Amino acid sequence: MIAAPRAEDSAPYPRTWGRGVQRLKQYGLRAHLLGALLRLRVPGQGLLLVMGGWSLPELDNRGGRLEIGSCGLFSGVRLECWKDATISIGDGTYLNRNTEVVAAESVRIGRDCKIARDVIIMDTDQHALPGAELIVRPVEIGDRVWIGARAIILKGVTVGHDAVIAAGAIVTRDVPAHGIVAGNPARPVR
Amino acid sequence: MIAAPRAEDSAPYPRTWGRGVQRLKQYGLRAHLLGALLRLRVPGQGLLLVMGGWSLPELDNRGGRLEIGSCGLFSGVRLECWKDATISIGDGTYLNRNTEVVAAESVRIGRDCKIARDVIIMDTDQHALPGAELIVRPVEIGDRVWIGARAIILKGVTVGHDAVIAAGAIVTRDVPAHGIVAGNPARPVR
Amino acid sequence: MIAAPRAEDSAPYPRTWGRGVQRLKQYGLRAHLLGALLRLRVPGQGLLLVMGGWSLPELDNRGGRLEIGSCGLFSGVRLECWKDATISIGDGTYLNRNTEVVAAESVRIGRDCKIARDVIIMDTDQHALPGAELIVRPVEIGDRVWIGARAIILKGVTVGHDAVIAAGAIVTRDVPAHGIVAGNPARPVR
């Protein structure tokens, strides 16, 4: 259940390996128990923590692949993975309450990302425009990206390492590494 | 509980009458049971399906009229209907998780609409501006309209047939038939 | 549990002191019982009402101070108060469903405010930008302010008395008394 320590482990959250007691104190027994329960449903070797309540995140896996590292998932999180699609979430990343990921083909989220509550990330509009085909374009989110509360990341968007997405931003275009975007539609700030 | 087949039935969702077994397979027993339970509280002859969880949608009917066709309502949907107001939802339309409709006078939603999660549709601001009267203006949404996740449709808005409202759009003005709008406030795109 | 009548009591909601039976009729026994239960966890002398469901609002008090007057809090409301921080909510104010307040230092909400559902108010981004310190700037909201559904009020914002924040607005700058703002980012209207 607990991965071996690795050299690159530097983020305090939630990868303080070898310091199990400290981690238990910080996140509580409930987070560990629910995380272990959730791990039964997701293959992987990392440590899952489930925070924010007694209910498990919803895994709506319709025949795809969930690659979930050592992550923190809050109650109300929902991962919807279509047939043959992939949802990948790197070590040290957390998804706060009610955040939702929909992958028709591929949504990849890097390491040590901070994803706030009520965020939606999807690689498809889920429906075709009248007279057109369903659009599916993979979403890729780099490492250490911070996504503010209630932002929406739409199909085809690539977000570079260390970028910041402001609360409430609706992101329809790529965000470069270290970029900061805000607004609806999201535009660079500063 | 199940309406007779009609000639104009073409949408696959959820009106595949006469193919009960297929529909049962597609949407599951739970959706049918909960739908039947909800139908006890809403007059109508169509088939209601309740999807996405065990809890029934909330009907906060304060003395108005709910005219709900053969629809799919997801868990967390909430219909608030004021005294003498009308909420009307056409056949083949679905309202996804946590979507909310508030009618002080009239909210009419057409047939075969796809309404995503967390959408709010209201025909009133629910409070008056200081020194002014409460504004109530009916909302009318056409057929085959597609409303993206977390959009808000405000008082007085008419949305034409086949229009598309982008995710996160705040709609304060009419949308013509076949129109596509996005942003806060929502503006035409393309 | 019920405060003595005061001369300045004029708002109908929920401070119709001395008219307990009428209030009981209007808001129901459940709202009073849950409110009394919640009062056990918040010091104060006012009357708390809990509306919209059987579940209590979540008080995530990490060593700060909650100063809650005679208020109405709906189910799903969440108050997160950091160490030595203050959340203050004036008499006659209500917070509708799923509204969330996060105070790292101070969030003060005045009297007789109408705060709609899904609103987020926070005096901190909760995380520092890369290479910078965590920003915390108190939020102050005046009396009789009306905040529309799903608005977000961010760090450092002061909202004057009688201001109106439109549904879905993302407020990053001060709003003057009697001002009306809308959009993302929020700008004055009219």
Q: pLDDT by residue (tens digit) across A15-74?
A: 545 577 888 888 888 999 999 889 988 888 788 899 888 889 999 999 999 999 999 999
DSSP label at A36?
H
Model confidence at C8, pLDDT cuts 50, 70, 90, reads very low
The pLDDT of residue A7: 34
Q: pLDDT by residue (tens digit) across A130-170?
A: 778 899 999 999 999 999 999 999 999 999 999 999 999 99
Task: Return mean pLDDT, chain B.
Answer: 88
**3-state SS, one letter per residue, for C132-187:** CCCCECCEEECCCCEECCCCEECCCCEECCCCEECCCCEECCCECCCCEEECCCCE
Q: Could you give all domains of chain B from N- to C-terminal order, each with its CATH number?
A: 20-188 (2.160.10.10)
ipTM of the complex: 0.80
Following DSSP, what letter does each residue of A169-187 receive, concatenated?
-EE-S-B-TT-EEETTTTE
The pLDDT of residue A5: 33
Query: What's the gap in Å between the CA of B105 and the closest CA on chain A?
Result: 30
Amino acid at C154: L
Q: Is the peptide bond before B138 cis (omega within 30 degrees of 0)?
A: no
The pLDDT of residue A185: 93
The beta-carbon neighbor of C130 closest among A162, A167, A184 is: A162
Please give the Cα distance from A142 to A162 (Å, whole number). 7
Q: If we measure between CA atoms, which residue out of B16, B106, B115, B3 comes closest to residue B57? A: B115
The pLDDT of residue C98: 93
Cβ pair B144:A150 closer than 8 A: no
A143 touches chain C (CB under 8 A): no
The pLDDT of residue C18: 57
Mutate to test the interface with C, among B55, B62, B122, B125 (most CBs of C within 10 A): B125
C170 touches chain A (CB under 8 A): yes
The pLDDT of residue C52: 85
Cβ pair A127:B146 closer than 8 A: yes
Cβ pair C120:A164 closer than 8 A: no
Contacts 24+ apart (CB under 8 A), C56-61: C57/C95
Residue bearing the bigger pLDDT, B11 or B110: B110
Cβ pair C144:B150 closer than 8 A: no
Model confidence at C27, pLDDT cuts 50, 70, 90, reads confident
Query: What's the gap in Å between the CA of C163 and the closest CA on chain B?
Result: 9
pTM here is 0.85
- Using a CB-CB cut-off of 8 Å, the residues of chain C touching A169 are 184
Q: Is the peptide bond before B43 cis (omega within 30 degrees of 0)?
A: no
Average pLDDT over residues C2-31: 60
Cβ pair A152:B146 closer than 8 A: no
Q: Residue B120: closest CA among chain C residues belongs to which residue?
A: C149
Query: What's the gap in Å between the CA of B166 and the closest CA on chain A?
Result: 9
Would the pLDDT of B8 be above 50?
A: no
Bridge partners, residue C103, by sequence: C81
Cβ pair B178:A130 closer than 8 A: yes
The pLDDT of residue A156: 97
Dihedral Cα C188, C101, C35, B81, nearest 10 deg: 50
Model confidence at B4, pLDDT cuts 50, 70, 90, reads very low
Residue C91 and residue C68 in contact, taking contact as beta carbons nearer than 8 Å = no
Amino acid at C178: H
The beta-carbon neighbor of B167 closest among A129, A130, A170 is: A170
Percent of chain B with pLDDT over 90: 68
Active-site amino acid positions of B: 127
Q: pLDDT by residue (tens digit) across B33-66?
A: 999 889 988 888 788 899 888 889 999 999 999 9
The pLDDT of residue A11: 44
Would the pLDDT of A1 be above 50?
A: no
Residue bearing the bigger pLDDT, B9 or C88: C88
Following DSSP, what letter does each residue of chain C receive, concatenated?
--PPP-TT----SS--TT-HHHHHHHHHHHHHHHHHHHHTTS--SS--EEESSSSPPEEEESS-EEEE-S-EEETT-EEEE-TT-EEEE-TT-EE-TT-EEEESSEEEE-SS-EE-TT-EEESB-SSPPTTSPPPB--EEE-TT-EE-TT-EE-TT-EE-TT-EE-TT-EE-S-B-TT-EEETTTTEE--
Q: Residue B184: closest CA among chain A residues belongs to which residue?
A: A184
Mutate to test the interface with C, among B120, B123, B134 (most CBs of C within 10 A): B120
Q: pLDDT by residue (tens digit) across C143-156?
A: 999 999 999 999 99
Model confidence at C185, pLDDT cuts 50, 70, 90, reads very high
Residue bearing the bigger pLDDT, B4 or C88: C88
Residue bearing the bigger pLDDT, C178 or C14: C178
The pLDDT of residue B64: 96
Please give the Cα distance from C124 to C64 (Å, whole number). 15
Query: What's the gap in Å between the CA of B40 and the closest CA on chain A?
Result: 29
Would the pLDDT of C115 be above 90?
A: yes
The pLDDT of residue B52: 85
Would the pLDDT of B12 be above 70?
A: no
Query: What's the gap in Å between the CA of C184 and the closest CA on chain A?
Result: 5
Residue B94 and residue B75 in contact, taking contact as beta carbons nearer than 8 Å = no
Please give the Cα distance from A141 to A155 (Å, whole number). 12
The beta-carbon neighbor of B152 closest among C146, C167, C183 is: C167
Length of chain B in terms of residues written: 190
In 3-state terms, what secondary structure has residue A89? strand
Average pLDDT over residues B81-105: 96
Cβ pair C130:A144 closer than 8 A: yes
Q: If we measure between CA atoms, which residue out of B152, B76, B146 comes closest to residue B112? A: B146
The pLDDT of residue B9: 38
Window 83-102 of A: residues touching B by CB (8 A cutoff) are 100
Instruction: Give whole-number Cα distances, B60 to B130, B135, B165, C76, C134, in Å.
Output: 27, 21, 26, 17, 43
